[in-house]
Structure 1
Amino acid sequence: MRTGFKVLGLVGMLAAGPGTYAETPPTIHTTTATAKETKDLVKVIGKVVDAAKNTPASFATVALLRTDSTAVSGVMADENGVFSIPEVPPGNYILRITTVGYDTRFVSNVSIATEAGTTDLGVIGLTASAQELSEVVVRGEKTMIVNDIDKKIVNVGKDLLATSNNVSELLEKVPSVSLDENGNPMLRGKGNVVVLIDGKPSSLYGNDLPTVLQSFPAELIERIDVMTTPSAKYEGEGASGVIDIITRKSRIKGTNGNLRGTLGNNWNNNGSGYINHKEGKWGLRASGSAQQRKWFFRRTLQRENYLGETTTRLDQNGNGQDGNTSLFGRLGVNYDFDEQNSLGVVVNYSQDQNHNRNFYHNETRLPNGELIQQFDRLSNGNSRGNNVNANLDYRHLFSDKDHVFTFTANYSEGQSNGSSEFDQQSDWDELDLRQQSLRQNNRQALFLNADYTWPITPKATLEVGARSRLNSSTTNNAFYTYIPDTDTFVINPNASNEFGYSDASYNGYVTFTQKTGDWGIRGGLRVTDATQHINQISRQQSFKAHFLYLVPTLALSRKLDDETLVKLNYSRRVQRPQADRLNPFTDISDPRNIQSGNPNLTPEYTHKAELGYSSYKDKGGWGPSMFVDYSNNAITRIRTIDEEGIAYSRFDNVGREMAYGFETDFSRQISEKIKVNATGRIFRSEVVSEIANIDNQTWSYSGNLNAFMQLPFNVRASAYLNYDGPRAIAQGTRQGTFIANMGLRKDVLERRGTVSFNVQDIFLSRIYQSELRTDTYLQNSLWQRTNRFVGLTFQYKFGKISASGDNDA
């Protein structure tokens, strides 16, 4: 713990830059001009009118931008078209004015002088748009996909939001991203993805990632950054890469908000809302959501067992349902001490309740069809959990552009508990049994992070940072068996355990970026010192593992023109085993398929390289790339079988995995009414282990399509198609999966309201299948969600932004 604070202290001293605070007090502001005292700030005023009619353009949005187009401040004109932007530092700016029915107006070379006191821009005329309102909306939205030197940025616009209620549904529409049957994100069809929220680990919001993503409202998201070869600034873990989910931050003075409600079939309903208020130095934001979900599924499994004197065949056919109710709330306050320093505090709270019901019919037969075993198994489970975290962010801006120091502290804690009942019945009396299980979990986490960015020259930038993360959890699993003679449930010590886990990781990184002409290079190195403690409390066994590893990264780029870039990236990744995979607890909820953890797992090391090209013009472009991923000591699930046909599975370090191939994203405004974003990939996947006698290889292809079309009556249609092709896994092949969604939306109430209709999994094609083949058994399994989602959503934006900047919002 002390080591982490020493590292953070060092970064704090580095933040002083070449000098020290004692020698030269920093002068900081949010513009490119030299910072001044508050008394030197200038008020910018003006009036917006219809250029043809000379009538006021009431409630037009007026934004003040830096010369690099980043936002500084903004207000809404009053009903007379008059606007007033207070406290503007001297400098050169661009003024952007937007409102319904008019072309966006840019006023360049807005020069603000110190001695002016008030700068009057006079009357500014707007030209009425000759196109449909909906077409103006399409043109005004950000480009959906932006390729940066080491990441892919996906901006979340109205089209994505119209068919997405939560972050989980958003991620499905992001290029290169898909979800497995449990709702965990995958990159290029592979798991082990680090998911961040505003640069912080998603585990701070709860211990179950799918639940966190399903609880987070989609309208809070501004963009999603996808990094398959992340720089050293990001976590070294995540063999497949990093997904950073960036939430919206209001920079405009005044009050605004959003309310959203969805009614869906099969009790799939949700409601959410947020409100932002910024006045003077203070900013306040609050949001909340409530969701109710229910889905049904079916599952089949066929397994031929070649052990023993004769072959046997197990057939499992089952169905079930899962239900979830969740609440999410967020409250944040930020304060600008001056032009140099700002502080933000955010508290998040989430709560969820889950219910599941599963039924399985099991038959075991000989090759001649003779039935040798049969039973039905019914399970009912309930669980409840909550999580709270408090986050503090401090930001210090220096006099040079992009010269910044940030510090973050986050503490979270959560609890969950659950119970399940199992009732197994058979014509064979010895197979009749009843069981119960109880589970409790308590967890705490502390996260500290400091980053310092120093633009040494206009073309050279140094970044250094340090991070400490401390986690601890205790899980108690108790499994009981019913004894008919005494009419009591007796604990089964072989299937019960109390498991304690803690880990501490201390990280430091440095990156250096240099631009020379059209060339750019970014090199980085991250060092991680991590310790994991595993405590089998009930068995009085403990394990300790220490890791020290380096994560080098390199990115080279060359601009062929303003819109075209060629880049070469390399990153090393380290995947430490997760707590649930280390826990040796034996899960016997399905007596024919028993699972357990492995406390002897060691890290998986992955090398990732990409060569990419991107060219995006006004109406679209494309970004092809070639990639190769090589993992040594790969962590994967291994399944063995005994002579009675019972399967035992756990995670092991099996050998090496490799994937290489070609991927491209494509974006095109085909016409004024049709826009398409697509991603395609063809690749080869290999899993090889001499020790486990594994050698699986396959070629495959994947792709997704987001298409948007303008229909009559200002209705906007969207369609989403995704296909994840087959992939080699340790003992066989995971089959391909196809998903199709569609949606319609229409702006109403002068664009303050939006009505949308969407259907998910139109063809009920979300089917996950796998085949496992070894010398001792052959297994085919299937899992399918059997209900499509149909929902109707209404969203309303509200708020009148103050034109004066006073407290009369």
Structure 2
Amino acid sequence: MKRTSFLNLIALFLLTNTFFVSLPAIAFPVNGTKTGYVDGGKLVGKIVESPGNVGVSFATVALLMVKDSALTNGGVADENGVFTIANVNPGKYILRITNMGYQTLFVPNVSVAAEGNLLDLGNITILPEAKKLNEVIVRGEKSMIVDDIDKKMVNIGKDMLATSNNVSDLLEKVPAVSLDENGNPQVRGKGNVVVLIDGKPSNLYGSDLPTILQSFPANLIERIDVMTTPSAKYEGEGASGVIDIITKKTKIRGTNGGMRLTLGNKNNHNLSGNINYKAGKFGLNASLSGQSRQMTWKRNLSRDNFISENTSHLQQSGTGGNKGKNAFGRVGMNYDFNDKNSVEVGVNYSLDENKNNSSILNETSVTPGIVSESFRRLNNTSGNGNNMNFSFDYRKKFADKDHQLNFTSSYSLGSSDGESYLSQESEIDSLLRNQQNIRDAKRRSLFLNTDYTWPITPKSTLEVGLRSRTSSNDNTNAFYTMSKETGSYGFDPNISNIFGYRDATYTGFMTFSQKTDLWGMRAGLRVTDYNQEINQISVNREFSVHFLTLVPSLALTRKLGETSQLKLNYSRRVQRPEADWLNPYTDISDPRNVKSGNPNLKPEFTHKAEMGYSNYEASGGFGPSLFMDYSNNAITQIRTIDESGISLTRFDNVGRELSYGFETDFSQTIGEILKINGSGRVFRSEVVSQIAQIDNRTWSYSGNLNAFIKLPMDFRASAYVNYEGPRAIAQGTREGVFIANMGIRKDLLEKKATISFNVQDIFLSRAYKSQLNTATYSQNSLWQQTNRLVNLTFQYRFGKITASGDDA
């Protein structure tokens, strides 16, 4: 993405934001009129706050009929509190004024004469909510964790939002969830997690999940659902579980929005904003965010190779960095035909630009202490990507509000391109080389989903659904090597690859739920017909695979009290090979550690069981559980060594993988000063494969903790620590990783604004170490982020919304 395009998008958002904020008074149909405006009088006035008669920005002004309080007209005050309501029929009215953080004010006996053209109401004073004397209403935040029969719902509170810029920041604060070194979510320390956004696959928003999560603004998120043993209603993929990110869809009237600016060190900046408007049956929401990011790292690798006649030693050390910019825009419209029928359409568009560089010194020795060959590998890579997604959703409610039909659809298309320049510097002529890699990828996908919910009786419900997802992915990797004689690049057909990938998934599911006063049960079955077509165009090799899978699930609950219950869950999961895992393209950016895909991969099936207790109240609670995951055909990365000491890493089906242990999450409010939440687990992990000669078993522990502390002068501080303990991996073990973040914030401008200061990775401890040991080699490696992230954030909220319907 070009810099000018990126800045133009930001400018476009600011102009759009200004347009909506400065809308004049909005005319509504009056006295049953359905089209156009009607002639009439005009009301003007100014909404102020005492003392000082300071104008109150963006208050919502509604004109109500005296007879039945029906809404006939209205408008929104400007930034100075001035409002105008045009085309008012003669008669008597009640004026209702609402705004966030203020008491609702009713002005009676507003009389518009037949012969009058203008009625100036002058200054109208409203009081902040804190000054209300006759009645005190305390509205606390929702309980952070709500335990449903097949998932845990984590509500995103104000404290989490104040210390989070994007969804990646939020996920690190969710119990049992962490991020790996690349920014991909993990559940209980393991990857292979399906991430959904509003129940739809996240890859509809783009191909790179970490970039999607970093570009999605945190203030658009209502809650995050974590499913470690998902029911058959959810995607059958994801051996570790499912994370569903639910965006805000509150039924509102009025206009509100906000802007957020983050300035950070090392060029880590972020600007985002959103606006929501609702009047009558029509609603509009829009958001835009732009981000620049930069991260530096270091890498070390030490390997003894035993496969050759003489043991050789490889030592690698180097540094690198990643720079990037992205922009994410979203526009949605919804229309309620009536109380039972509604539609919503939306468009998302994202752009991403990244630049990576690395410098790695490679030293090989056969005799200890004597280097036999040495070269430095330099890699400079740049890339661009974009993705557009169109969605259409329809919802129909029947007489019983739990009886409904939902249809959702999404169409996504995107592309990415990039180029890498690789060079080797050495005193040995045979090791000198210059290479170039040019990449191009195009993808398309279509998602269709229909769900029907039928409450058979007041305590039993049947859900059925049909889903289809088709996608295509065409990748071209062209590799060129510079000729020493001519100095020009020549195409290398041996490592270049043109890869075509198609898949089609057709799914049907059914779940039946039964509840009594004490017991709950949900049983389900998901049937999936999955088809893959793989075309290695460059070598004229084409083949297809077909899988028919059954995913059963069962959940039982027993209530022990008003908020406490026991739960027993079982689910079978399937991890189908991803396109990147199958693509046989050979990545030689590190010539001593080559990577490739494996087109012969088979699906992995995992059995997941969990038995737990939970007791969550508004002030806090906890949810301990015993869990077990078992797979007999696990997909994992395997590294092999050839006689020249070069390793090849690719995914393979290795054998049995088992994990079991004890886990608990908790949240607690202590007085009015301290809020804490977190999770912890003690577990055993085992990876065993007779064919690959793997037998790794280890006990470990992990946990995270969030604390939000109220300080004097209305300051609030937060702290976050996470530790992922050692665990068994194929061919070795991975050491534990510790991360600590902190922040402090303060509300300003009558709580319409917040300023916060945050530090991530305080101790620069985000270091990933592993030890691999086989009959042919022994290896120790380290990858560590080397820049601490420090940022200052200012957030401002404007406007007023009033809830309606279920949200009141």
When the two structures are superposed, what TM-score results if normalisation uses the length of structure 2? Answer: 0.84
Residues 689 and 281 of structure 1: CA distance in aligned 2, closer, same or farther (over 3 Å):
same
Q: Which residue is 2:767 aligned to?
A: 767
After TM superposition, the structure 1 = structure 2 runs for residues 118-517 of structure 1, keeping only pairs within 5 Å, are: 140-517=140-517
Q: Which residue is 1:538 aligned to?
A: 538
- The separation in 1 between residues aligned to 2:292 and 2:496, in whole angstroms, is 32
Q: Deviations over 1:118-153 (max 9, x none)?
A: xxxxxx99995899xxx999x722222222111111
How many angstroms does 1:187 deviate by? 0.8
Q: Which residue is 2:608 aligned to?
A: 608
Matched, 1:698 2:698: yes
> Do the aligned residues in 2 keep the contact of 1:250 with 1:276 (CA within 8 Å)?
no
Residues 126 and 365 of structure 1: CA distance in aligned 2, closer, same or farther (over 3 Å):
closer
- The separation in 2 between residues aligned to 1:431 and 1:745, in whole angstroms, is 54
How many angstroms does 1:804 deviate by? 13
Q: Which residue is 2:552 aligned to?
A: 552
How many angstroms does 1:174 deviate by? 1.0
SS of structure 1 residue aligned to 2:181: coil
- The separation in 1 between residues aligned to 2:756 and 2:128, in whole angstroms, is 31
Q: Which residue is 1:111 aligned to?
A: none
> Do the aligned residues in 2 keep the contact of 1:77 with 1:803 (CA within 8 Å)?
no
SS of structure 2 residue aligned to 1:161: helix
**What is the aligned length?**
705
SS of structure 2 residue aligned to 1:178: strand
Q: Give the fraction of aligned pairs with identical amino acids, expressed as a percent.
A: 64
Paired amino acid for 1:640: T
- The separation in 2 between residues aligned to 1:543 and 1:283, in whole angstroms, is 48
Residues 129 and 153 of structure 1: CA distance in aligned 2, closer, same or farther (over 3 Å):
farther
| Structure 1 range deviating more: 319-328 or 148-157 | 148-157
After TM superposition, the structure 1 = structure 2 runs for residues 641-652 of structure 1, keeping only pairs within 5 Å, are: 641-652=641-652
- The separation in 2 between residues aligned to 1:76 and 1:560, in whole angstroms, is 50
How many angstroms does 1:558 deviate by? 0.6
Paired amino acid for 2:159: D
Q: Deviations over 1:15-39 (max 9, x none)?
A: xxxxxxxxxxxxxxxxxxxxxxx99
SS of structure 2 residue aligned to 1:654: strand
Matched, 1:570 2:570: yes
- The separation in 1 between residues aligned to 2:801 and 2:611, in whole angstroms, is 46
Paired amino acid for 1:595: K
Paired amino acid for 2:473: S
> Do the aligned residues in 1 keep the contact of 2:102 with 2:128 (CA within 8 Å)?
no
Paired amino acid for 1:555: A
After TM superposition, the structure 1 = structure 2 runs for residues 1-150 of structure 1, keeping only pairs within 5 Å, are: 100=101, 140-150=140-150
Kindly report structure 1 stretches of 4+ aligned residues shifted beyond 6 Å. Answer: 58-62, 75-80, 124-127, 802-805
Residues 655 and 753 of structure 1: CA distance in aligned 2, closer, same or farther (over 3 Å):
same
> Do the aligned residues in 1 keep the contact of 2:250 with 2:803 (CA within 8 Å)?
no
How many angstroms does 1:162 deviate by? 1.8
How many angstroms does 1:528 deviate by? 0.1
How many angstroms does 1:325 deviate by? 0.3
> Do the aligned residues in 1 keep the contact of 2:513 with 2:521 (CA within 8 Å)?
yes
Q: Which runs of 5+ in 1 are unaligned?
A: 1-37, 40-57, 63-74, 81-96, 105-123
Residues 174 and 803 of structure 1: CA distance in aligned 2, closer, same or farther (over 3 Å):
closer
Q: Which residue is 1:723 aligned to?
A: 723
- The separation in 2 between residues aligned to 1:517 and 1:257, in whole angstroms, is 42
SS of structure 1 residue aligned to 2:591: coil
- The separation in 2 between residues aligned to 1:738 and 1:803, in whole angstroms, is 42
- The separation in 2 between residues aligned to 1:142 and 1:724, in whole angstroms, is 29
- The separation in 2 between residues aligned to 1:539 and 1:362, in whole angstroms, is 32
- The separation in 1 between residues aligned to 2:299 and 2:137, in whole angstroms, is 47
SS of structure 1 residue aligned to 2:234: coil
How many angstroms does 1:642 deviate by? 1.3
Q: Deviations over 1:92-142 (max 9, x none)?
A: xxxxx997499x9xxxxxxxxxxxxxxxxxxx99995899xxx999x7222
| Structure 1 range deviating more: 470-479 or 156-165 | 156-165
Q: Which residue is 1:49 aligned to?
A: none
Residues 800 and 318 of structure 1: CA distance in aligned 2, closer, same or farther (over 3 Å):
same
> Do the aligned residues in 1 keep the contact of 2:745 with 2:757 (CA within 8 Å)?
yes
Matched, 1:673 2:676: no
SS of structure 1 residue aligned to 2:494: helix
Matched, 1:520 2:545: no
> Do the aligned residues in 2 keep the contact of 1:76 with 1:803 (CA within 8 Å)?
no
After TM superposition, the structure 1 = structure 2 runs for residues 733-752 of structure 1, keeping only pairs within 5 Å, are: 733-752=733-752
- The separation in 1 between residues aligned to 2:99 and 2:730, in whole angstroms, is 55
- The separation in 2 between residues aligned to 1:366 and 1:216, in whole angstroms, is 50
Q: Deviations over 1:508-541 (max 9, x none)?
A: 0000100122001000000000100000011110
Q: Deviations over 1:656-683 (max 9, x none)?
A: 1000000001111122201111200000
Paired amino acid for 2:366: L
Paired amino acid for 1:453: T
SS of structure 1 residue aligned to 2:601: coil
> Do the aligned residues in 1 keep the contact of 2:144 with 2:620 (CA within 8 Å)?
no
> Do the aligned residues in 2 keep the contact of 1:237 with 1:576 (CA within 8 Å)?
yes
- The separation in 2 between residues aligned to 1:686 and 1:412, in whole angstroms, is 39
How many angstroms does 1:496 deviate by? 0.3
- The separation in 1 between residues aligned to 2:799 and 2:59, in whole angstroms, is 13
> Do the aligned residues in 1 keep the contact of 2:252 with 2:803 (CA within 8 Å)?
no
> Do the aligned residues in 2 keep the contact of 1:719 with 1:740 (CA within 8 Å)?
yes
> Do the aligned residues in 2 keep the contact of 1:76 with 1:802 (CA within 8 Å)?
no
Paired amino acid for 2:141: E
How many angstroms does 1:60 deviate by? 10
- The separation in 2 between residues aligned to 1:475 and 1:267, in whole angstroms, is 32
How many angstroms does 1:250 deviate by? 3.5
- The separation in 2 between residues aligned to 1:669 and 1:407, in whole angstroms, is 40
Residues 693 and 136 of structure 1: CA distance in aligned 2, closer, same or farther (over 3 Å):
farther
> Do the aligned residues in 2 keep the contact of 1:659 with 1:683 (CA within 8 Å)?
yes
Paired amino acid for 2:299: R
Paired amino acid for 1:546: H
> Do the aligned residues in 2 keep the contact of 1:681 with 1:703 (CA within 8 Å)?
yes
- The separation in 2 between residues aligned to 1:650 and 1:738, in whole angstroms, is 28
Q: Which runs of 5+ in 2 are unaligned?
A: 1-31, 34-55, 62-73, 82-97, 105-125
- The separation in 2 between residues aligned to 1:472 and 1:528, in whole angstroms, is 18
Q: Which residue is 1:7 aligned to?
A: none
> Do the aligned residues in 2 keep the contact of 1:258 with 1:796 (CA within 8 Å)?
yes
Q: Deviations over 1:162-188 (max 9, x none)?
A: 221111121111111111111111111
How many angstroms does 1:616 deviate by? 2.0
- The separation in 1 between residues aligned to 2:306 and 2:491, in whole angstroms, is 34
Q: Deviations over 1:279-316 (max 9, x none)?
A: 11111111101000011000000001112222111110
- The separation in 1 between residues aligned to 2:667 and 2:60, in whole angstroms, is 29
Q: Deviations over 1:750-777 (max 9, x none)?
A: 1111111111000000111111100111
- The separation in 1 between residues aligned to 2:406 and 2:654, in whole angstroms, is 41
Q: Which residue is 1:112 aligned to?
A: none
Paired amino acid for 2:529: D
- The separation in 2 between residues aligned to 1:800 and 1:225, in whole angstroms, is 28
> Do the aligned residues in 2 keep the contact of 1:630 with 1:657 (CA within 8 Å)?
yes
- The separation in 2 between residues aligned to 1:126 and 1:178, in whole angstroms, is 40
> Do the aligned residues in 2 keep the contact of 1:610 with 1:625 (CA within 8 Å)?
yes
- The separation in 1 between residues aligned to 2:515 and 2:478, in whole angstroms, is 59
Residues 98 and 690 of structure 1: CA distance in aligned 2, closer, same or farther (over 3 Å):
farther
Paired amino acid for 1:657: E
Residues 355 and 334 of structure 1: CA distance in aligned 2, closer, same or farther (over 3 Å):
same
Paired amino acid for 1:356: N
> Do the aligned residues in 2 keep the contact of 1:76 with 1:801 (CA within 8 Å)?
no
SS of structure 1 residue aligned to 2:680: strand
